[in-house]
Each structure stands twice: as C-alpha cells, then as structure tokens.
Structure 1
Amino acid sequence: MTTYAKLPTLAGAEPAHVSFTDPDIWTAYGAQWNSGEQKTLQCCAVIDETHDVKTFVFRCADWRALSFEPGQFITVSPIIAGQSVSRCYTISSSPTRPFALSITVKRVPGGTVSNWLHDHLNAGDTLLASGPAGSFTPVGRPAAKLLYLSAGSGVTPLMSMTRASFDMAARLDIVFVHSARTPVDIIFHAELNRMQARMPGLRVLNICEGPGVDTQWAGPIGRLDLALLQERVPDFKEREVFTCGPQGYMDAIKSLLKQGNFDFRHYHQESFDIAVLDEAPLLEQAPVLDQQAGVFTVTLSRSGKTFSMPGNQTVLSAAKKAGAIVPSSCSQGVCGTCKTALLQGTVEMNHNGGIRQREIDKGLRLLCCSKPTSDLVIDL
C-alpha cells in the first residue's frame, strides 16, 4: 500500500502561492521517480484532443503513485523497427493526481515516435519511460501573478501547471495566452474554458492565425504581438512568464517582450523543441571529418566497436553512425537520457542541466553535448 507524507505547512506563510511553488508539496504526493530511473507504464486510455493530437494516459504498472513537478517531462522509449528510440514528452496531467499521468502528443509528419504512438499505442499496452526531469516549472519560484504563453503542443507543460493550481484551489492570478493555427487546433479548449469559469484568477485568451472552418470564431486573428499583449494583459511586466512552443514562436515572444522592456529575470521557457526532436531519424547523418578539429579514436567497451570521429562533432552523433544503440532524446543536454560512463579519455561537455555534478564526478557524461579532446573508451 502506498503511504503519503503529511503535506507540509509553512508557519506564517500565505497559502495562495507558497503551497503551489514549494518543492516539498510535490514529493508528498507520491513516490520519488528519479530522472534516470526507468519504469514500466501501462497505457490506460487514448484521448483524441484534435485531429492530429492525442493524449495518452498511463499508470505505473505496480499501481504506485508517482511524484513530479508541474511542467516536467518524461522520456519514453518504445521499440520501433527492433530498435529502442527515446523521446521527451512533457507531462500534461497534474501531479495532484499521482496515480495516473498523461502526455499529449502532436503527430509530426515524418516523426518517428509521434507517428508510432498515434498508430500503435493502445489502452492496455506497456511502455518503458524514464524521468521525470526538467526545470521548466514554477516550483521554487514564488509568484502570485503568472503569464503562460504557448503555441501548438507547447500548451502541455502549462496545462499541467494550470491543472495543478486548479486542483489545489490556489489563489493565483494566471493569464493563459495560447496561439493555434485555427480554432479546431486549440488543444484543451473546452477544459480550459471550464476551468476559467470556476477559477476566479484564471483568464484564457486564444489567438488563431485564421478562422479555418469555424465561421463563428470571435477571438483574435493573427499572431500575438506587443500591441495585443499590452491591450489584453496590461500588467504583463509584473508577471512571472512561462513560454513553450516551437522555437520560432519562443524567439518571437522574447523579441516582443524585449520590445516591451520586460525584466527577463522573470522569464522562463522550455529549452528544447519537442516537434523538432521528433523529426530526428533513427540514425543521424555521418559527421564530416575536419582535420583542423582533430580526429580521435573512440572504442565502445561492450560491443568492441572502434571508429574515428572529429573533435567538432558530438560523441552521440558519431556513436549512432557507427551502429551503437545509444538511448537519446533531447540532444541538447537537458533530459539526461544519453548519460554514459566515460572509461578513458576526456571530452568537452556543455550541458543544460541534464547531469548532476556528483554524476560527473563518477565519470558519467552526456554524449549528446560532449565533444572528444582525446581518444575515448566509452561504456557502450
């Protein structure tokens, strides 16, 4: 039987936003699930959100409750064409409901994993997953006024945050601005409207590039710009901003906020573009040898494979081209999926939080953001 710690109470603290952002709250809801730990998840339901977006609901195979922070992601590893392929997907459900979690996936044309999930994963099936991970979360950042900006499937981490604050009756002032191609492409449209009707501090604004087939659409048409933001959210500079969406969208948001003299100490964005990652092929293209960068020999200790690679390429890219099966996902040093022991040699590693210092001290490296500075022996 799963037992729960008593939810912490903070003496003298105003409960409205402290409870929502206190890290101890989320670990109290279920058992800790470390980012590098794989678990078997069972799919409980598949829900059609839009014509090309589905939500997959999972529970832990042993019925255990799991803790995570709103906005974090997991890494799923289905077997596709006989090969384990890993991709990161943000948890769209709330950690206040720890016995089930969901990911919401947009079908990407040519996307290896998104198409497999849409076409093959059904209720009753199991899937290996590791996580949760990621620092794109309001936890540890106390703020009573929030601005969520999303586009497309970037809505998922912000939906997790909104669901969590709704479930906890947190007295937060949230403005949720979502951009979509047309009204029928708005993910979670009906649910957000229902939450808005019942949560006094939540305001939802949907912006569509065009009306599509919806002749009754009365919302804004076009794209979010500074004029519209100033009109609909005049106090945006007083808010903690969380942004998620395609890279072009996030670049545009940063540009308009800069134009509006926003203080970027209160700005947070998801650090990788899930749609781009899902388009990655099973094997990456061959690296081009660059004599000026130096050429090094890499030995994979388990398989016995040996290959040469230039110093201006990542070890992950070269290892995959050599035929090594290396679990990977974000390719930007965030998720930690490609964490591997470096047995001999040295690398230059520039990560984005996907590995801890104690793991580095033990000899682990993230292959996706490591470039060789000597010959290497890797535990693969």
Structure 2
Amino acid sequence: MLLQPPPRDVREFEAVLPEWNPDVDDMLVCRQVREETHDVKTFVFSARYPCQFRFRPGQFLTFDLPLEGGMIQRCYTISASAARPFRATITVKRVPRGPGSNWLHDNLKPGSEIRAVGPMGEFVPDLFSEKKWLLLSAGSGITPLMSMARTAADLGDDRDIIFLHAARSPRDIIFRQELDMMARQQEGMRLALICESLSEEKSWPGLTGRLSNVMLQLIAPDLDEREVYCCGPEPFMEAVRVMLVELGYDMERYHQESFDFAVMEEEEPFEMPVVDDGVEHATFRVELARSGQVLECGPDMTILNAARAAGLRLPSSCARGLCGSCKSHMVSGSVDMKHGGGIRQREIDQGQILLCCSRPTSDVVIDR
C-alpha cells in the first residue's frame, strides 16, 4: 500500500526549517535533564530557534564549558537517534575529578544555554550496508552505540544486531529499560548484559564477570559474519582487540572509537605555558584563510595553542591528537605533526592536519 503524502503544511514546515549551523549561531539550549543512573545524566538540547540537527550515529559535539578557572572544551558523543533531527542529546557520566562532567551535572539545567560546535567524528556505521552488527560497549562507551541502535530502530532497519554491554553492576547499566524494550520490540536485535558484580540485584538474568573469549563465542557464534563496533575505556577496547585476534576475526571489519572520553575528562583545564629563558625565538606566520586572522606561532608551540593565546575559539577537545575535532586543511606551508591516531594517513596525504599537535616549520595557511 502506498503511503499518503504528508499534509501540505508539514511539508512546508520541514522545507523551511534550517539546519543548525554553529558558524551562524553556536548556542544550544538545554531543554531537559534525565537521570539515567546514580551517576549518569542525559542532557537534551535544541537550538534557540527551530532547526534540524544533521549528524551520523557515532559522532560527537564539542562544548565550551565555563569553569571558574577558565573556559575548557570537552567533546561528548550524541546519544540520540540520527533519525530524530530536531533535538540532540548527550549522556554524561560523572567522573571523579573530571572538570567537564562535574560542571555539567552540577550546573546545566533546563533553560541553560551552552556553546557547541560539530557534529564531528569518524566512528560511524554504514547504514546502507546489510551486514550484521556486533555492538560492544562498556560503561559510558554505550552512548555512540546507543545512537546507532536507536537510528536503526527509527529507520525500520531490521538488520541482525547483537548489542553486548558490560557494566560494573546492574545499577550502573545505562539505558537498561530502553535496551530491554528495544530487544523485545525488534525481532533482529539481541541483548547481552555482563556485570562484574551483582550488588543488591538478587535475580540477575545476565552474565557475571568480565568479557572473555568463551562469552564472546557464546553470545555471537556467527562472529565472523558481523561488523564489530566497540567503544569503552581503553583497557576494555584493548581486551576486545586481543580476543578478536585470538579468535581469528578479520580486524579490517573492526571499528572502535579512537579516544577514551574518560581519560580526557580527567585532564585539567588548559593553561598557556610561559617561556622566559632570555632567548629570542623565531616565530612563523599562521594565517586563517576564511577569517583573515593571522597568528604568530613559535616552533615549539602548536597552532591550536597559538590560537588560544590570541583569544580565538577553534573546535578542539582532546588536545592530544586523538579525537580529530580540530582537523583542518592546510592550504600551504609545512608542520611537524605528532598525532595519537585521530587522523588517517589518506587524510594527511590530502593536506589535512590536527591543529592541536601540529607545530609549524614554515609560514602556514589554514582553511579556517
């Protein structure tokens, strides 16, 4: 049966509703705060004026957080479905000593405004492929995989999905009720939960302990037929990689988030180093082609730090060459770039650099 076209006024509404553009207005409004667990909250955002968010499941936004010691940038994965474009959500675990997560938990309320840029990130699935998925997550690493699962459900994608999530205890399972509901309602989705300890849970239906080769084979006996997406603390992702190699899995089909949000969250706010050794150091000219702004950058300073010293706000988060949020095209010049995996070799060959870990070796022009 053919679907009837939507009413004329709905079509016109969608046609005139613009996409959110942080270059025009980077302010988001917190519309709702939801308690997910005892230390995890979901923050729901929309723009100040009606618009649509365009992102791929697995991508993240980078936020400006106004701490007492100064502004810091933190990136958080979008946990919402990409098929619901009118709002964006992030789901954040409070990290001990984590300046970003603690500020969000303590200060962000419905009606609060916050600046953000994005979306960004390459940890995204191929929604047009019919391949089976194995989603592996631990702790707050569930957020990009939840976006993938939610998007598939909203698109009516009946692909075969195994969603395996590891948590410290049942009370730490993020989205537990929604995951149970999705597994009941979607014929192609199977859910597996693993907890290290059971705490007060008396009738636990899942597995106990830590993920092992035996568990992985039990949960996904057809592992070789699946595309694997993994996100969680680095020790968890490393353990998964070792298991898959031991099981003979084709690692060309393995995908993981390129950086550990929790480790980044523990970092202190950025402070510019002060160099006063009595020696005059050569500087290079860094031009931002779009804005026409020019920076002076010493050979021992990254381009991102030079921009911060000049009071410029450029997209960034990890500041260690891991997340890729500061990726930019270098129009001319040369740099010494020591990255941590946040950029692919083919991107480097195309002239892309990461501003956070690139030190100029000549005058440079950046497409920013």
**TM-score computed with the length of structure 2 as normaliser:** 0.81
Partner of 2:318: 330
Measured against aligned partners, the alpha-carbon deviations of 1:324-347 in whole angstroms (never above 9, x if no partner) come to 665420335465554679899631
Whether 1:348 aligns to 2:336 is yes
Q: 1:230 to 1:370 in 2, by over 3 A?
A: same
Q: Does the Cα contact within 8 Å between 1:309 and 1:318 map onto a contact in 2?
A: no
Measured against aligned partners, the alpha-carbon deviations of 1:288-316 in whole angstroms (never above 9, x if no partner) come to 99xxxxx7546789999977554xx7444
Whether 1:205 aligns to 2:225 is no
The whole-number CA distance in structure 1 between the counterparts of 2:367 and 2:71 is 18
- Give the 5 Å matches for 1:24-39: 31-32=18-19, 39=26
Q: 1:341 to 1:155 in 2, by over 3 A?
A: closer
Give the AA of the match of 1:232.
I
Q: 1:155 to 1:102 in 2, by over 3 A?
A: same
Local SS of the residue matching 1:172? coil
Partner of 2:265: 278
The whole-number CA distance in structure 1 between the counterparts of 2:263 and 2:24 is 25
Local SS of the residue matching 1:128? strand
2:94 to 100, 103, 107: 107
Q: 1:262 to 1:171 in 2, by over 3 A?
A: same
Give the AA of the match of 1:107.
R
Measured against aligned partners, the alpha-carbon deviations of 1:105-127 in whole angstroms (never above 9, x if no partner) come to 01111111111100000001111
Local SS of the residue matching 2:31? strand
Q: Does the Cα contact within 8 Å between 1:36 and 1:336 map onto a contact in 2?
A: no
Whether 1:93 aligns to 2:80 is yes
The whole-number CA distance in structure 2 between the counterparts of 1:159 and 1:193 is 12
Local SS of the residue matching 1:159? helix
Q: 1:268 to 1:114 in 2, by over 3 A?
A: same
Partner of 2:5: none
Structure 1 range deviating more: 148-157 or 345-354: 345-354
The whole-number CA distance in structure 2 between the counterparts of 1:350 and 1:205 is 39
Q: 1:244 to 1:160 in 2, by over 3 A?
A: same
Measured against aligned partners, the alpha-carbon deviations of 1:342-374 in whole angstroms (never above 9, x if no partner) come to 89963123663499979x86xx85321213335
Local SS of the residue matching 2:191? strand
Give the AA of the match of 2:45.
F
Partner of 1:71: 58
1:250 to 232, 237, 246: 237
Partner of 2:209: 222
The Cα of 1:255 is off from its aligned counterpart by 0.5
Measured against aligned partners, the alpha-carbon deviations of 1:143-170 in whole angstroms (never above 9, x if no partner) come to 3311000000000011011111112221
The whole-number CA distance in structure 2 between the counterparts of 1:82 and 1:337 is 23
Q: 1:377 to 1:98 in 2, by over 3 A?
A: closer
The Cα of 1:281 is off from its aligned counterpart by 1.2
Partner of 2:358: 370
Measured against aligned partners, the alpha-carbon deviations of 1:94-142 in whole angstroms (never above 9, x if no partner) come to 0111111100001111111111100000001111111111121113661
Measured against aligned partners, the alpha-carbon deviations of 1:166-209 in whole angstroms (never above 9, x if no partner) come to 12221111000001011100000010001111111111111011
Identity of aligned residues (%): 44
Aligned length: 347
Partner of 1:193: 180
The Cα of 1:213 is off from its aligned counterpart by 2.2
Local SS of the residue matching 2:27? strand
Local SS of the residue matching 2:208? coil
Q: 1:355 to 1:95 in 2, by over 3 A?
A: farther
Partner of 2:247: 260
Measured against aligned partners, the alpha-carbon deviations of 1:63-119 in whole angstroms (never above 9, x if no partner) come to 112221111111111222273321111100101111111000011111111111000
Q: Where do 5+ consecutive residues of structure 1 fail to align?
A: 7-27, 290-294
2:148 to 161, 174, 194: 161
Give the AA of the match of 2:357.
C
Q: Does the Cα contact within 8 Å between 2:137 and 2:164 map onto a contact in 1?
A: yes
Partner of 2:43: 56
Local SS of the residue matching 1:123? coil
The whole-number CA distance in structure 1 between the counterparts of 2:331 and 2:68 is 30
The whole-number CA distance in structure 1 between the counterparts of 2:215 and 2:230 is 17
**TM-score computed with the length of structure 1 as normaliser:** 0.78
Q: Where do 5+ consecutive residues of structure 2 fail to align?
A: 1-8
The whole-number CA distance in structure 1 between the counterparts of 2:155 and 2:332 is 50
Q: 1:235 to 1:61 in 2, by over 3 A?
A: same
Measured against aligned partners, the alpha-carbon deviations of 1:235-258 in whole angstroms (never above 9, x if no partner) come to 111100000011111111101000
Give the AA of the match of 1:331.
A
Q: Does the Cα contact within 8 Å between 1:66 and 1:98 map onto a contact in 2?
A: yes
1:236 to 206, 210, 223: 223
Give the AA of the match of 1:329.
S
Local SS of the residue matching 1:57? strand
Q: Does the Cα contact within 8 Å between 1:146 and 1:175 map onto a contact in 2?
A: yes
Q: Does the Cα contact within 8 Å between 1:342 and 1:377 map onto a contact in 2?
A: yes
Structure 1 range deviating more: 297-306 or 103-112: 297-306
Q: Does the Cα contact within 8 Å between 2:195 and 2:210 map onto a contact in 1?
A: yes
